[in-house]
């Protein structure tokens, strides 16, 4: 009989798959709009300061990343479901069919690895984050609130035979808050779904830009904690490398102050975020 964490993991991944497909549809709509614009007025790209091609490139980059993520999540779901399938007959019959079931299971694992190079690419991408700062959810799946911190990746488990993809990433919280027990640096072992890479600060042209009104997760100025915020103005519009944001629950004198945050400290708001 399957354990509730297994079912919870499957449900979480199905929600993530649904979110990815919805985002893909939104990006596809934007790509089609750009195609129509360029077909109607192709000369616009020759105007000084026009960013049409740059926007189209960013949209295709976003579409590619979403597609690869969908393959990753789909493959994880396949392996999770495979692990929950009935183990087969009992007693003497099980002993007779044991080797056959083992061969079938080995075939499923080899098939998944053979037909999904994007999964290996995803794993390599996470492995390359070693030494980098990332956003990480350090609270349990059933916690009342999600807590996200800036941490450094210190180890990544490349073992592709683990269907749960749990405790894959070991991270270090270099600057825990004053209220943390012990007050020293702390390590966590987290699943890949708890990690969000930050945009590359030296390559803003390939970074997805969140439009005004979009909800994001951003590092609160002067801290290493991330909170939900709403985009007020984009780096491109401000002609800088910073977003202008309003953080939820940041009220001062009855109003939400607008704060600037570097683009490389802003990531997409995870589905089902609790704050």
Identify the weakest region by mean pLDDT among 79-88, 99-108, 185-194.
99-108
Burial of residue 9 (number of CB atoms within 10 Å: 0-12, 13-18, 19+): buried
Whole-number pLDDT of residue 119 = 57
User: Which of the two residues, 223 and 4, has the higher pLDDT score?
Assistant: 223
The CATH fold assigned to 214-268 is SH3 type barrels. (2.30.30)
CA distances from 109 to 78, 103, 161 (A): 10, 10, 8
Burial of residue 217 (number of CB atoms within 10 Å: 0-12, 13-18, 19+): buried
Whole-number pLDDT of residue 269 = 93
| Alpha carbon distance 84, 81 (integer Å) | 5
Both tokens of 19, joined, read: 């979110």
Whole-number pLDDT of residue 95 = 45
Both tokens of 4, joined, read: 């509730």
CA distances from 14 to 31, 94, 100 (A): 26, 32, 30
CB 214 within 8 A of CB 231: yes
User: Which of the two residues, 52 and 248, has the higher pLDDT score?
Assistant: 248
H helix runs in 50-90, sequence order = 52-84
Tokens 């192709």 map to which residue? 42
Whole-number pLDDT of residue 229 = 96
Asked if the model's pLDDT at residue 205 lies above 80, the reply is: no
Averaged pLDDT for residues 247-269: 91
Both tokens of 250, joined, read: 């940041």
The most confident of the ranges 60-64, 110-114, 173-177 is 60-64
Whole-number pLDDT of residue 1 = 43
């Amino acid at each position: 009989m399957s354990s509730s964490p297994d079912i919870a993991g499957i449900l979480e991944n199905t929600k993530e798959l649904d979110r990815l497909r919805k985002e893909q549809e939104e990006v596809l709509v934007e790509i089609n709009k750009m195609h129509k614009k360029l077909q109607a007025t192709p000369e616009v790209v020759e105007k000084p300061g026009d960013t049409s091609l740059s926007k189209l490139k960013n949209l295709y980059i976003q579409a590619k990343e979403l597609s690869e993520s969908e393959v990753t999540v789909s493959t994880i779901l396949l392996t999770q479901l495979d692990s929950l399938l009935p183990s087969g007959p009992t007693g003497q019959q099980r002993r007779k069919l044991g080797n056959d079931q083992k061969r079938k299971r080995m075939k499923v694992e080899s098939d998944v690895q053979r037909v999904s190079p994007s999964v290996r690419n995803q794993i390599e991408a996470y492995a390359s984050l070693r030494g980098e700062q990332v956003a990480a959810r350090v609270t349990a799946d059933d916690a009342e609130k999600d807590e996200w911190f800036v941490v450094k990746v210190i180890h990544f488990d490349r073992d592709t035979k683990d269907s749960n993809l749990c405790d894959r990433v070991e991270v270090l919280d270099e600057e825990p808050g004053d209220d943390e027990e012990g007050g020293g640096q702390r390590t966590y072992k987290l699943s890949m779904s708890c990690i969000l890479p930050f945009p590359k600060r030296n390559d803003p042209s390939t970074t997805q830009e969140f439009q005004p009104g979009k909800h994001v997760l951003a590092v609160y100025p002067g801290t290493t904690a991330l909170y939900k915020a709403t985009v007020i103005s984009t780096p491109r519009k401000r002609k800088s490398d910073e977003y202008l944001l309003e953080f939820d629950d940041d009220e001062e004198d009855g109003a939400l102050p607008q704060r600037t945050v570097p683009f490389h400290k802003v990531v997409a708001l995870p589905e089902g975020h609790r704050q």
